[in-house]
Structures are given as structure tokens and as C-alpha cells.
Amino acid sequence: MTTQEKNSKRYELLKVRKRREERRLAKLRARRRNRIAAVVVLFAAITIVCGTVFNAAAKEITITEINEFTGLNETQTVRTRGGSVEEVLAKRGLDIGETDRLNVPASKPIEDNDDIVIKRGKRVTIKSGSDEKVVTVTKADAKDALIEAGYIPGELDQINTDGDTIELVSISRSDEVTTETIERGVEYVDDPNLPQGQEKVIDEGQDGIKEIQHKVTYQDGEESERLVLGENITQEPRNKIIAKGTAAATPAPSRSDVSDDGGSINGYKYKRKITMTATAYSASHSENGGFAMSAMGTALRYGIVAVDPDVVPLGSRVYVTAPDGSWSYGVAVAEDTGGAIKGNRIDLCYPAGADSFGRKSCVVYVLE
């Protein structure tokens, strides 16, 4: 065999070996691809199974965060595998401060479909009357904050705010009736039987009474306004009446010229003359025991004399004078009597001050 033939045979042999190697490598690659595919399928199956198991263990919950002071109101739905409410909120950066409020206990274990609400709060000072205290509220509206803190504002109550201070002023109104005295007036009347300069109460009178209807407003228990709605006089006032004396005091006995011609006395004709003892009494109520009228029913006054009717008939006109003319009462009318006026006694009426007269001798002329 020639060299050329040997080389040709060797070349053919190499080609056969190469085709065998390529077929072997192809089979190896096919087996590797099959193994990888099987691993991928297995991994996918495991992943699906694990995911299903994981999802089956997770819980879906709703978290709502409310902050009325900033206007925040957000809700999110999340899935979690468990833990307490506090732990789940902390993982999402939702810390709970001292002034914040949760609708469930922070230590409560998470359950599927839990609805967790966080209300952000702050501290405020509430003033009500003399009471003042610091409380935590989550309501931005002042009235709502007061109710949350346990204060129930009335319909008329006033609410004032100043920064983080809320003031509740209690307002109430009521209808009230008061009584007021209407002072009696004073009325003076002239009394001719009372000496000048003297006064006497005839009627004490009485004060009137007036009812006044008020609408009264109170702030924190203190009266702040009082309006008059109306008035009603329940008792009319009656004036106090005082008698004011106008009578002149008893004149001092004065000398009188007596002209007695046996038939007339100072020009007055008489039918009889009698020597008597004279006394005096007063027309003033306060000096005569309250008597105001004579026995004949006439008002006591100067010019009335009291006599014994058996000696001088009532109604007789008389002239009374001293025997020596040292004093004279003048003309009078016998209209009165007295328990002590018996026989030749005569009692002369003066407006007042009769006590100073004493007892005197006199001549009584019974005129025609």
C-alpha cells in the first residue's frame, strides 16, 4: 500500500471517530437539558406549593389612620403573616404615641379581616367654671372635643378657644319674680283743733308692694344680665296723714272792761247771771283723751263751754268774764257737758294748752 493510500484511509477513520464523538456529545447535551428541565419543573412546582402555603397563612387587614388636626384620613389594605397589632403597625412605621387612640388593644393578635383604626390625638386644657384640667382628645372641633372629654355643652353654653385651651362657659336663663316696696307718701292736713307747731299722725298709711318679672341670665352660676319683663302692683300704697296744728295757743287771760247795767253785759242782753268756778279743757285730741265732739255733736273749738244742764240749759248762749274784769272768755255756747262739771261749774274750751288755765272764779251771763 502506497503512502497516499495510507493517508486516505487514516483520514476516513478520523471522520468516523469525529461523527461518533459528535453523536455522544449530542446525547450528553440532550440528557443535560432533560435534567435541567426536570429541575425547573420541580422548582416551579415547589415554588407554587410553597407560595400557596404562604398565601394560605397570610392575613388580610385594613389600617386606617385619622388625624383631624392635620386633615389626614388614609386607609390601606395589607397582608401579614401574624403578630400583634402593635408589631404589625411598627413594621409599617405607624408608631402609637401616648395621645393616640386605637380601636383595638395594641397587644391583640392579628386576625384575618381585622379593621384597625388609629386616631391621632393631642393634649388640650379645658376650663369650665373654676375647674381646669388637661385631657387628651382626638377631635379637632371644640364642641366634639368637649363631649369626648366628658363635658356636655348645653344649648345656651358658650365655647371659647385659644390655641390648645378650650373654655366652656355655662349659660342659663330663668324667669324670676321679685317684690319691691313702694314707699308711702306723707300728706299734711290742717287741724284747727291742734296748736300751731304741733303735729299728730292721723293715719300711719301703708307701703305698697310691686312684683317685678325678670328674665335673668347666669354665666357659670353668676348673674350676668337682668331684664325687666313687666311689673304688677299687688298692694297700692296709702299716704301717711299727719295733722298740722293751726290753732293759736290758749291766750293769756286779759283784762276786760265789764259794762253791766243790770240788763246787759257789754251790749249783750242777759236774763240771768251766775257766779261760777271756771276751768278749761283742750280741743286737741292728744290733750283731751281723744275726744273731738261736744255733747251736742259739734266739733270742739274755742267758744264752746261745758255746763251742768240743770243749771245752764244746753244750747244757751253765755258770756263769761272775771268778776273784776281781769280776764274775759267772751261769748260762748253751752254745747258740752262733763263728768266733773256739776252745779255752778263751767269748763271753757280752748284749742290747746288748757292745763295752764287753772281754776278761776267767774261770772256767767246767760244771754237772751
Is residue 257 in a domain? no
Residues 131 and 103 in one domain: no
Is residue 250 in a domain? no
Give how many domains the chain has, as a whole number.
5
Is residue 284 in a domain? yes
Residues 268 and 363 in one domain: yes
Q: Which domain holds residue 20?
A: 1-55
Is residue 258 in a domain? no
Residues 270 and 325 in one domain: yes
Is residue 259 in a domain? no
Residues 4 and 69 in one domain: no
Is residue 241 in a domain? yes
Residues 289 and 308 in one domain: yes
Residues 110 and 91 in one domain: yes
Instruction: Write out the chain in H/E/C secondary structure.
Output: CCHHHHHHHHHHHHHHHHHHHHHHHHHHHHHHHHHHHHHHHHHHHHHHHHHHHHHHHCEEEEEEEEECCCCEEEEEEEEECCCEHHHHHHHCCCCCCCCCEECCCCCCECCCCCEEEEECCEEEEEEECCEEEEEEECCCCHHHHHHHCCCCCCCCCEEEEECCEEEEECEEEEEEEEEEEECCCEEEEEEEEEECCCEEEEECCECEEEEEEEEEEEECCEEEEEEEEEEEEEECCECEEEEEEEECCCCCCCCCCCCECCCEECCEEEEEEEEEEEEEEECCCCCCCCCCECCCCCECCCCEEECCCCCCCCCCEEEEECCCCCCEEEEEEEEECCCCCCCCEEEEEECCCHHHCCCEEEEEEEEC
Is residue 256 in a domain? no
- Can you give the pLDDT of all 368 residues of the chain as single tens digits? 566 666 666 666 767 677 777 777 777 777 777 776 665 556 555 555 444 444 446 899 999 999 999 999 999 999 998 799 999 999 999 999 999 999 999 999 999 999 999 999 999 999 999 999 999 999 999 999 999 999 999 999 999 999 999 999 999 999 999 999 999 999 999 887 666 667 889 899 999 999 999 999 999 999 999 999 999 999 999 999 998 877 654 554 445 556 777 789 888 999 999 999 999 998 877 777 778 889 999 988 899 999 999 999 999 999 999 998 888 999 999 999 999 999 999 999 988 778 888 999 999 999 99
Residues 108 and 69 in one domain: yes
